[in-house]
Amino acid sequence: MANYYNKDLYKILNLNFDATLDEIKQSYRKLVREYHPDVAGENADINKFKEIQEAYEVLTNEENRKKYDVLHGFYREKIRKQEESVRKNKYEEYIKKAKINANTQENFTKSINSALDNLFHSGKGSSKTTEPKRIIHGQDININISISCFEALNGTNRKVNILHTQPCPNCEGRKFINGSQCSMCNGSGQLSLQKKINVKIPKGVSQGSKVRIKKEGNKGLNGGKDGDLYLIVDIEKNPYFNIEGNDILCNLPITPFEAVLGAEVSIPVFGEKITVKIPSMTSSGQKLKLSGLGIENNNKTKKGDMIITVQIKLPEKLSEKEKALYNQLKELSKYNIRKDLNNAK
């Protein structure tokens, strides 16, 4: 797809999407005087001029402009405006006729109603603009999104690329018109547009949860609803945190002296730090449960827990003095920690 598809060509030329060819030419000439390197003097801007030139070339080529308009929804809007003005003219005409024909209020109402009936329910073979349009709803799009555990706990933003499709407005998704292949969509029945959008993933999502972004699914046609976009969350594994249902599981490293003496340690979670009290004489593998510090369930009626598993870790290096102190401890300690192991049968 040409890269100008993602630009707002009308804005570049200071125009509305329904600008006429004359208006496009007029605006182009004005902008050339403002930015062209040969005529604009110190205001000249070669990059801006190139953009203007590109927009002008696309929009003055009938076929390219139509393609561009279709992809950006302008084509549909133009057709809608044209139909509206045809309908409005017809309506006014009928009102005029009805007024001439009606002598009394009752007759006037009857006359109007039959005029409107003719206008909106005209039979087959009438002009194309009054044919009832097929309403097509856009489908939902599901995409997988991988986030870290930290992001799941704290919330995050992502830019995602989505391929939106919409039913072809020319053949209304039927692929063929009067037996021949539709020329606008080349018989595929749909048109696609790549779009980058920013999505917000709220804090506290759990594995496999679906985040709904309204109306960013595939586009509807003729008043049909746009689909929604669903992000299906995959939480990457992490050595310290894991999320299970609504519980947060945390592996907490502590030093041997914290295990013996007890400590207050802080853990980063939900964008803030929580303080956890480790009781003295805590062994490796011991679990601590912090009620209500997990994730809210979907209907926000209950919160999970945080379950901490303590792991005693040794420093990578010990100084000579530390080693000497451990030696002293060894000399002092009379406790046989493997007494039960030795007696095991």
Question: Considering beta carbons, is residue 126 or 183 the nearer one to Zn ion?
Answer: 183
Which of these ranges, 116-124, 183-191, 255-263, 268-276, lies near Zn ion under the rule CB under 5 A?
183-191
Phi-psi region of 12 (alpha: psi -120 to 50; beta: other; left: phi over 0): alpha
Identify which of 155, 230, 157 has the alpha carbon closest to the alpha carbon of residue 198. 157
**CB closer to Zn ion out of 1 and 281:** 1
- Enumerate the β-bridge partners of residue 213: 229
Taking CA atoms, 184 is separated from 68, 122, 143, 275, in Å, by: 11, 28, 28, 63
70 binds Zn ion (CB under 5 A): no
**Residues 175, 181: contact at Cβ < 8 Å?**
yes
Q: Between 66 and 110, name the residue whose CB sits nearer to Zn ion.
A: 66
User: Taking CB under 5 A as the rule, does residue 221 contact Zn ion?
Assistant: no
Nearer to Zn ion, 167 or 304 (CB): 167
Least distance to Zn ion, CB of residue 87, Å: 24
User: Which of 170, 206, 218, 282 is the binder for Zn ion (CB under 5 A)?
Assistant: 170
| Minimum distance from residue 184 beta carbon to Zn ion (Å) | 5
180 alpha carbon, distance to own chain's centre: 37
Segment lying near Zn ion (by CB under 5 A), choices 83-91, 143-151, 160-168, 292-300: 160-168
Q: Which of the ranges 136-144, 167-175, 206-214, 331-339 carries the binding residues for Zn ion, by CB under 5 A?
A: 167-175
From 46-54, 125-133, 179-187, 213-221, give the range in contact with Zn ion by CB under 5 A.
Answer: 179-187
Distance CA 2, CA 67 (A): 11
- In angstroms, the CA 236 to CA 224 distance is 37
Candidate list 31, 136, 149, 168; residue touching Zn ion; CB under 5 A: 168
Is 152 an interacting residue with respect to Zn ion (CB under 5 A)?
Answer: no
Got the DSSP string for 297-335?
PTTSS-B--EEEEEEE---S---HHHHHHHHHHHHH---
Choices 84-92, 164-172, 194-202, 322-330; region in contact with Zn ion by CB under 5 A: 164-172
- Total number of residues binding Zn ion (CB under 5 A)? 6
Cβ neighbours for 260, distance < 8 A, ≥ 6 positions apart: 280, 281
Helix, strand, or coil here: 60?
A: coil
Between 184 and 213, how does the x/- string for binding to Zn ion read (CB under 5 A)? xx----------------------------
The answer to whether the CB of 132 falls within 8 A of the CB of 220 is no
The residue among 87 and 175 lying less far from Zn ion, judged by its C-beta, is 175
Name the minimum Å distance from CB 172 to Zn ion. 8
Question: Length of the chain in residues, anyone?
Answer: 345
Smaller CB separation from Zn ion, 115 or 185:
185
| Residue selected from 141, 171, 233, 254 as contacting Zn ion according to rule CB under 5 A | 171
- Say how far apart CA 332 and CA 260 lie, in whole Å: 15
- Rounded Cα distance between 162 and 217, Å, is 9
**3-state secondary structure at position 251:** strand
- Rounded to a whole number of angstroms, the minimum distance from the CB of residue 73 to Zn ion is 15
Q: List the Cα angle 190/193/197 in 5-degree steps.
A: 140
Choose one: 50-58, 180-188, 242-250, 270-278; the region binding Zn ion (CB under 5 A). 180-188
Q: How far is the CB of 168 from Zn ion (least distance, A)?
A: 3
Applying CB under 5 A, which of residues 24, 182, 205, 235 lies at the interface with Zn ion? 182
Q: How far is the CB of 171 from Zn ion (least distance, A)?
A: 3
58 is a site residue for Zn ion (CB under 5 A): no
* Spacing of C-alpha 325 from chain mean position: 58
Cα 10 to chain centroid distance, Å, stands at 25
CB closer to Zn ion, 184 vs 288: 184
Which residues in this chain contact Zn ion in the complex, by CB under 5 A? 168, 170-171, 182, 184-185
